[in-house]
């Protein structure tokens, strides 16, 4: 016998289609089987991607490369909180560039046995938080950070079980945990020692806390995420649309407190330089690993995909209007997503608002100038929510297909490997751009059909 939830869905189909209950149940079962098949294929793609990355792929950076940037910046602020963190970051686009030879961070890296180190491009707070471990040997600190990241992934999965109504002891939890560790952006973030695993944990805390009505905790989590990487500030209009004054005021208060803390620790001079660092990164960088709308515009304009540091000079040759067009398209996409939220604002309960926040993890990645592969780690939350719903009550087939394609394209390295394969440039551009197009379509489709589930605690995206 179908469960009560299944019976309700069968009754709904019977009312809509005007056929017998038995036929509706058969139709429901067929839809559910298709969803489970797509989910199995998506899960298999996670496993295939991990194996392919191990034997076929290669990371864009050596192991722990990003962590060492944080680590040596932390050494600087440990010895001198007002240290010049951003030497060499203004002017030209500073991404993927090495720190100047005469900079303090480069000197500290060489003293530790490293030949080179990239520029530090994050708010001062990140270096401040790493300062307590900056005195231990760099390899030991990297191993400690990797252990912390592995634990944070598990913490995120445990928190998600509350949102998804998944028992901790069971097959569903095991599937969720395995999928999280196999998810390629998570794998990449752990490999390079990126702070995006901490961002995944903060997004999870913020979303689950909001679902549970812990508004201040939710706002504080997202405020801290903003102080580590600025893009979560793009969530603020959601809560303005929902007229959640308590969340907005809490977010602004915590953000002001964190900003004041950075000024007190690092000095106004250091903090005031950071906006110019963000401005220098504003035009993005059209490498295949940067999955944004702006990158697609550049790939299409030049008719080619850039896949290595040898092409770094492309940003210096861009026509003046091209970054403007890229920003306009990115802004239009973001604003239209906000419009969809505003249009459905009266139909969303707290569960649907939490799901909307999760989808905006992908929206902000697509609209931002820079979203490397590891930046999509927090998108795992939205995928988990949508798959959990689809496996309980089958969603519309277009939504399920887009969900499967999004999961596959985020997880599989085939698209990235194609950019370095001996293929015509048109094929490379098509393969690289198709991933971003899929992400955009998934966001628009999910937000367009977001509606309350009808009873507390149920996630719906159909």
Q: Which residue in this structure is represented by tokens 């887009």? A: 402
Greater pLDDT, 95 or 193: 193
Average pLDDT over residues 137-151: 96
- Does residue 456 carry a pLDDT above 70? no
The pLDDT of residue 285: 83
The pLDDT of residue 397: 86
Average pLDDT over residues 145-171: 93
Cα 45 to Cα 52: distance, rounded to the nearest angstrom? 10
- 452 falls in which pLDDT band (50, 70, 90)? low
- Does residue 55 carry a pLDDT above 70? no
Average pLDDT over residues 92-111: 88
Greater pLDDT, 42 or 279: 279
- Does residue 196 carry a pLDDT above 70? yes
The answer to whether residue 5 is domain-embedded is no
- 458 falls in which pLDDT band (50, 70, 90)? very low
Question: Residues 228, 195: contact at Cβ < 8 Å?
Answer: yes
User: Which segments of 122-214 does DSSP mark as H helices, in order?
Assistant: 124-130, 138-164, 171-182, 184-192, 196-211
The answer to whether residue 130 is domain-embedded is no
Residue 316's Cβ-count burial label (10 Å; 0-12, 13-18, 19+) is exposed
Looking at 279-288, 369-378, 379-388, 413-422, which range is the least confident one?
A: 413-422
The answer to whether residue 99 is domain-embedded is no
The pLDDT of residue 194: 93
Cα 408 to Cα 376: distance, rounded to the nearest angstrom? 13
Domain count, the chain: 1
Q: For residue 132, give the nearest of 65, 78, 193 by alpha carbon.
A: 78
The answer to whether residue 14 is domain-embedded is no
The pLDDT of residue 89: 76
What does the mean pLDDT of the chain come to?
A: 85
Average pLDDT over residues 84-91: 82
The answer to whether residue 454 is domain-embedded is no
- 91 falls in which pLDDT band (50, 70, 90)? low
Cα 223 to Cα 206: distance, rounded to the nearest angstrom? 9
Question: Residues 293, 436: contact at Cβ < 8 Å?
Answer: yes
Q: At what angle do helices 379-392 and 350-367 cross, to 10 degrees?
A: 130
pTM of the model: 0.89
CB within 8 A of 207, min separation 6: which ones?
163, 218, 354, 357, 358, 381
CB within 8 A of 401, min separation 6: which ones?
38
The answer to whether residue 132 is domain-embedded is no
Domain that holds residue 223: 27-63+138-448
Residue 358's Cβ-count burial label (10 Å; 0-12, 13-18, 19+) is buried
The answer to whether residue 105 is domain-embedded is no
């Amino acid at each position: 016998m179908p469960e009560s939830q299944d019976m309700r869905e069968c009754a709904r189909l019977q009312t809509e289609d005007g056929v017998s209950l038995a036929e509706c149940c058969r139709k429901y079962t067929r839809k559910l089987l298709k969803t489970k098949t797509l989910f199995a294929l998506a899960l298999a793609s996670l496993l295939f991607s991990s194996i392919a990355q191990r034997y076929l792929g290669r990371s864009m950076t050596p192991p722990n490369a990003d962590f060492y940037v944080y680590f040596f910046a932390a050494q600087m602020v440990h010895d001198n909180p007002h240290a010049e963190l951003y030497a060499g970051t203004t002017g030209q686009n500073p991404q993927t560039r090495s720190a100047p030879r005469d900079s303090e961070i480069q000197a500290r890296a060489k003293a530790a046995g490293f030949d080179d180190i990239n520029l530090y491009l994050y708010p001062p707070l990140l270096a401040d938080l790493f300062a307590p471990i900056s005195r231990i040997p760099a390899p030991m600190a990297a191993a400690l950070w990797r252990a912390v990241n592995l634990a944070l992934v598990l913490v995120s999965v445990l928190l998600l079980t509350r949102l998804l109504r998944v028992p901790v002891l069971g097959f569903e939890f095991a599937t969720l945990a395995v999928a999280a560790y196999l998810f390629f952006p998570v794998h990449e973030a752990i490999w390079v020692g990126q702070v995006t695993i901490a961002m995944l944990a903060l997004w999870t805390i913020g979303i689950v806390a909001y679902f549970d009505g812990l508004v201040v905790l939710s706002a504080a989590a997202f405020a801290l995420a903003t102080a580590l990487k600025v893009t979560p500030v793009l969530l603020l209009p959601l809560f303005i649309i929902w007229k959640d004054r308590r969340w907005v005021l809490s977010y602004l208060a915590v953000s002001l407190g964190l900003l004041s803390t950075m000024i007190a620790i690092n000095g106004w001079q250091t903090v005031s330089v950071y906006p110019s660092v963000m401005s220098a990164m504003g035009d993005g960088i059209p490498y295949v690993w940067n999955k944004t709308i702006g990158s697609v515009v550049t790939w299409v304009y030049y008719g080619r995909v850039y896949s290595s540091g040898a092409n770094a000079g492309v940003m210096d040759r861009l026509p003046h209007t091209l970054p403007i067009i890229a920003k306009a398209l990115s802004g239009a996409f973001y604003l239209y997503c906000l419009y969809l939220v505003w249009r459905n604002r009266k139909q969303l309960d707290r569960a649907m608002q939490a799901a909307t926040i999760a989808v905006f993890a992908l929206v902000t990645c697509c609209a931002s100038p820079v979203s490397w592969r590891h930046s999509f780690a927090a998108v795992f939350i939205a995928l988990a929510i949508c798959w959990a719903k689809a496996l309980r009550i089958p969603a519309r087939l277009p939504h399920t297909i887009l969900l499967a394609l999004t999961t596959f394209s985020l997880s599989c390295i085939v698209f990235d490997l194609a950019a370095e394969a001996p293929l015509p440039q048109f094929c490379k551009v098509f393969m690289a751009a198709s991933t971003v197009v899929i992400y955009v379509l998934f966001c628009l489709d999910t937000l367009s059909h977001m509606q309350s589930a009808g009873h507390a605690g149920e996630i719906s995206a159909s």
